[in-house]
Amino acid sequence: MPRPCSRRISVIVIRWSLALILGLGLATCTLFAQEPPRSYTFLLASGFLCDPDHAEACPAVAKDANGSTFEMSGAGMFDAQSKSVEAAGTYTHKLPNGNVLETGLWIASELVRFDSYGAAPGALKRQGVAFGPAPFGPRRMLMSSGPMPTGALAVFRIRLLPMSGASKTAVLQVNCALGEVPRERSVEGIRLKLERNDTEYTQEAGGRVMILAIRSGVATPAKTTNQEASPRTSESPQN
């Protein structure tokens, strides 16, 4: 029988997926601020990363030395300075023979570590992804606005919530191999470590991930004078 919190976590996943898509579209109309980014959003084998013609893109798979796997997908947002995070998704734990051992939901509780490899402006173009309205000016203007693809290693502490049984804590590594990627992290994908028994799934066995930097001006757009005045303009005229 599904856990009582399943519906709540599912709502979180849907909310963040929609927020990410809407944010990407709206942000293309806003130029990056000059200060370095602190807020990031990410997709884990979900959204536009999933291509029907490339089944290996989704889900993301981490494998242990015995061949057992964790298949995961999800989305979220985090702050690299405050270490706050809101992210959630689904997972499936499989035995080496492919039989499903467990399925459930995961939710992030902490950003443990974040190492940036630098921006990769052309990554979305290579993906064939376009956000917002059709271009109306120089293409380089569009490249300087909106979320910026960024290579990075993001490490989260997460809680695994199975459909039945006790929850578990784990450490999830999300590696986006763009920018100046260290040799030892040249493979895109995920790794997972269960904290209770120290079981490690250290082989990235497939799946796409994307991390995008959100400048402060994009993440929390300021109200314009007209927006602040709009409630007053809606009042009925006095006779």
**Would you list the domain boundaries of the chain?**
6-218
Q: Residues 173, 43: contact at Cβ < 8 Å?
A: no
Rounded-to-integer distance, Cα 133 and Cα 25, Å: 8
Q: Residues 132, 145: contact at Cβ < 8 Å?
A: no
Q: Residues 27, 218: contact at Cβ < 8 Å?
A: yes
Residue 224 has pLDDT above 80, yes or no: no
- The predicted-structure confidence for 157-174, as pLDDT tens digits, reads as follows 999 999 999 999 999 999
Give the Cα-Cα-Cα angle 9, 112, 21 (nearest 5 degrees).
Answer: 45
Residue 137 has pLDDT above 90, yes or no: no
* Residue 59: cis peptide before it, omega within 30 degrees of 0: yes
- pLDDT for residue 27: 44
> Which one is predicted more confidently, 120 or 125?
120
Single pTM value for the model: 0.73
User: What is the three-class DSSP state of 86?
Assistant: strand
Taking CA atoms, 165 is separated from 70, 154, 168, in Å, by 17, 28, 10
Model confidence band, residue 9 (pLDDT cutoffs 50, 70, 90):
low
- pLDDT for residue 200: 97
Model confidence band, residue 126 (pLDDT cutoffs 50, 70, 90):
low
Non-local (6+) Cβ contacts of 227 within 8 A are none
